[in-house]
A and B are shown apart, each in its own frame.
Chain A
Amino acid sequence: QVQLQQSGPGLVRPSQTLSIACVISGDSVSSNSAAWNWIRQSPSRGLEWLGRTYFRSKWYSEYAESLKSRIIINADSSKNQFSLQLSSVTPEDTAVYYCARDDFTSGATLDYWGQGTLVTVSS
C-alpha cells in the first residue's frame, strides 16, 4: 500500500520560499512506472496542478505554465522523497498543498495522495 507523508512549515513570510517534502512508503521515488506530483487547493483558486517529477533513466520535471518561473520539484532517492519549492510567495499562495502519485503501470493519475499541508503566507 502506497503512503505519502507530507511535512513542512505552516507559515511562510511574503517573498520567502515555501518548501514541503513528501516521504514515500510502498513505492520508490525512482520508479520507472510512477510520477510524483504537487497540487494545491484554495477557496479562491480551487484545485490547481502545480507540477511533477519522474525518473526515466534521468530525472524530468514538468510545471504548470503559470508557475514556471518560481517552482522547483525535485527528488531525493536516498530519503525516498520528493519536494516542492515555491519562491517569492505572496498571500495568493496561501493554500492546502498536496503531493500525489501517477501510476504508469495502470495509467491512473493522482491515485494516492498525501494528507495535505495548510500553508499560510503572512507577515
Chain B
Amino acid sequence: DVQMTQSPSSLSASVGDRVTITCRASQSISRYLNWYQQKPGKAPRLLIYATSNLQSGVPSRFSGSGSGTDFSLTISRLQPEDIATYYCQQSHGTFGGGTKVEIK
C-alpha cells in the first residue's frame, strides 16, 4: 500500500498568514491526490482534487500543487473559518494522518 505522510501534524498561524501543508507519498501517485477539510463532528469536505483542481464553492485562497510523490496545499490568507483538520488522500486509497490548523 502507498503510505501518505503529512507535515506538520499541527500548526498555529495568524489570520491573514500564508499557510502550507505538505503531503508525501511513499511511491509515485502521478497527480491522483486530493485534499479535504474536516471540522469537528462533521464529514470531510473536498477542497482540491487531482492535485490542483478547486472543487466548486471552495474559496480561491485554497490551492494545491505537486506531482509524483510531493504535494502541497496552500491557504493564501488564513481566515478564522479555516480552522479545521486537513487531510490528503491518494485517490481511492490511503489518507494522510491530518494537519490540525489553529489560529495563533
B63 within 8 A of A: no
Check A49–B89 contact: CB distance below 8 A.
yes
Give the chain B neighbours of A48 by CB distance below 8 A. 95
Check A116–B92 contact: CB distance below 8 A.
no
- Cβ-neighbour of B91 out of A65, A66, A109, A115 (below 8 A): A109
How far, in Å, is A7 (CB) from chain B's closest CB? 15
A106 to B94, CA, bound (A): 21
- Cβ-neighbour of B49 out of A65, A107, A113, A115 (below 8 A): A107
**Chain B interface size range:** 20 to 34
Check B95–A47 contact: CB distance below 8 A.
yes
How far, in Å, is A22 (CB) from chain B's closest CB? 12
Interface of B (DSSP majority class): loop
- Cβ-neighbour of B1 out of A52, A65, A108 (below 8 A): A65
| Interface residues contributed by chain A, number (CB under 8 Å) | 21
Mask for B17-59, Cβ within 8 A of A = 1, else 0? Answer: 0000000000000000010100000011110011001011000
How far, in Å, is B85 (CB) from chain A's closest CB? 10
Interface of A (DSSP majority class): strand
A82 within 8 A of B: no
Check B43–A108 contact: CB distance below 8 A.
no
Closest to A100 in B: B43
A98 to B95, CA, bound (A): 14
Instruction: Give residues in B with beta carbon < 8 Å to A.
Output: 1, 34, 36, 43-46, 49-50, 53, 55-56, 87, 89, 91-95, 97-98
